[in-house]
A and B are shown apart, each in its own frame.
Chain A
Amino acid sequence: NAGVTQTPKFQVLKTGQSMTLQCAQDMNHEYMSWYRQDPGMGLRLIHYSVGAGITDQGEVPNGYNVSRSTTEDFPLRLLSAAPSQTSVYFCASSSGGVQYFGPGTRLTVL
């Protein structure tokens, strides 16, 4: 049981580039979420999903897209990276109770 996995662990992008952060869980959880963690701002919700085919916006969705074609996977796409998107990104999943987090992706946008 791997839990919640995220790839890559580290990424450096140039302004304007696009990329996808991968997230997968093997616990058959309905709920999955993406958060970003910034110094002094804490963790903020970007997008979330309540099941395959269903996604919605969180607190800071601008510049990010998500999709959920399967229960297991919830990728986060940066359409045109900006320096303000430099952050640590965490994916989380739950069945409605305890929330389980992945190890994070540290993203730097130059």
Chain B
Amino acid sequence: KQEVTQIPAALSVPEGENLVLNCSFTDSAIYNLQWFRQDPGKGLTSLLLIQSSQREQTSGRLNASLDKSSGRSTLYIAASQPGDSATYLCAVRKSNTKAAGNKLTFGGGTRVLVKP
């Protein structure tokens, strides 16, 4: 059974510092990995999706890397801002078959606080 872990559970950094968020998974046979942001009391917003054949994806100040063989992904947020304060979750999708649906296995999330 796939298990996804995010350590640490919480992180506090001063504004301007780069953020490094970790995600590890036990079964390397994944189809893709997705990073989400969740603000308190809100739904999840997709940040980046990395296919299993890719090594990284970038969007603005965000960069996500994937090392499938070691079961790890890292989300980098450059020059953090107070508006980046939120919980960040990673999720893996095992299969690309239609019958399997788009089922995701989630990590527990890392709660980030960026202090002004």
Contact = CB atoms under 8 A, between A and B. Distances in A.
B106 A58 contact: no
Contact of A98 (B34, B98, B107, B109): B34
A30 B34 CA distance: 19
Given A101-B43, A101-B44, A96 B106 contact: no
Q: Which secondary structure characterizes the binding site on chain A? A: strand
Given A45-B103, A48-B103, 11 more contacts: A31-B102, A33-B102, A35-B106, A43-B106, A51-B98, A58-B103, A90-B43, A98-B34, A99-B91, A99-B102, A104-B43
Nearest to B96: A96
Interface of A: 4, 30-31, 33, 35, 40, 42-45, 48-51, 56, 58, 90, 92, 94, 96-104
Interface residues of B, number: 22
A99 B43 contact: no
B101 interface: yes
A49 B53 CA distance: 26
Given A90-B44, A101-B44, A104-B43, A56 B49 contact: no
